[in-house]
Amino acid sequence: MKGISDHLLSNLNPAQRCSVIFSALCREDFTEANRLADTAPTAIYTAGDFYNPFTRAMLTAALARGDIEQATAQVWANRCFWATRLHSEGIDDPSLDVFWSAATESRDRARSLWSAFAEAVTDAGMEPGEVMASMGGLSKLAQESVDASAGAEPCPDAVALYAAMLSP
């Protein structure tokens, strides 16, 4: 896009602009990406005062939901492997402890992620269960895991990430 005038760049629609900015970023051409962003038309928009915090909360809930669901899936995958090994190899199978430990770690991770989400959302002045429910909630398996999360230590990295996403 180098050599194209700023006037022509201002005629790109938002989807086209996103596409060419991503292309520039993939090429690690940060100067061009900034130029593309800087030539975007600007306007003044009117929105309800809740719009930005609402959007940030929904995006944070979506990320937390994905994190928690992934950890829950790992719990059940390891439990299934554990049951399969128990059924095929019997109680003396040495891999049983490995699968059970992995399931326990994943369950603890899901609980820790929920605690991190709950802490960040509560600090932002919202109720975590309501925010998550507005996104469609967690799966039944994930919800059962986090319901038992009272007292789970929140993951510090997740708290920092979720809090940063919620901050204005």
What would the DSSP string read from start to end of 35-57?
HHHHTS--------TTHHHHHHH
Which residue reads 């996403």 in tokens?
165
Residues 78 and 118 placed together within one structural domain of the fold: yes
Work out the pLDDT band at 12, boundaries 50, 70, 90.
Answer: confident
Residue 87 in tokens? 């059924």
For residue 109, which of 138, 69, 58, 81 has the smallest C-alpha distance?
69
Residues 61-84: pLDDT tens digits? 999 999 999 999 988 888 888 888
The confidence score (pLDDT) of residue 63 equals: 96
Domain housing 128: 51-166
- Is 44 inside a domain boundary? no
Q: In the predicted model, what is the mean pLDDT of residues 7-34?
A: 84
User: Is the pLDDT at 122 greater than 90, yes or no?
Assistant: yes
**Is the domain of 127 the same as that of 156?**
yes
Output DSSP code: residue 167. Answer: -
- The whole-model pTM stands at 0.72
Residue 45 located in a structural domain: no
Same domain, 84 and 133: yes
Q: Based on the structure, what is the number of domains in the chain?
A: 2
Task: Give the separation between CA 43 and CA 50, rounded to whole angstroms.
Answer: 20
Q: Are residues 81 and 14 in the same domain?
A: no
CA end-to-end distance (rounded Å), the chain: 33
In a shared domain, residues 26 and 78 = no
Q: Is residue 27 part of a domain?
A: yes
pLDDT higher than 80, residue 149: no
43 in a structural domain: no
Would you state the pLDDT for residue 6? 63
Whether the predicted pLDDT of 148 surpasses 90:
no
24 is a domain residue: yes
pLDDT tens, residue by residue, 78-112: 888 888 888 887 777 777 888 888 888 888 999 99
1 domain-assigned = no
> What pLDDT score does 4 carry?
64
- Mean pLDDT (the chain, rounded): 87
Given this model, what pLDDT does residue 21 score? 87
**Residue 127 binned pLDDT confidence (cut-offs 50, 70, 90):** very high
Alpha-carbon Rg for the chain in angstroms = 23
Examine the domain organization and report whether 78 and 161 are in the same domain. yes
C-alpha 42/C-alpha 137 separation (Å) is 36
In a domain, 21, yes or no: yes
Domain assignment present for 93: yes
* pLDDT number for residue 125: 93
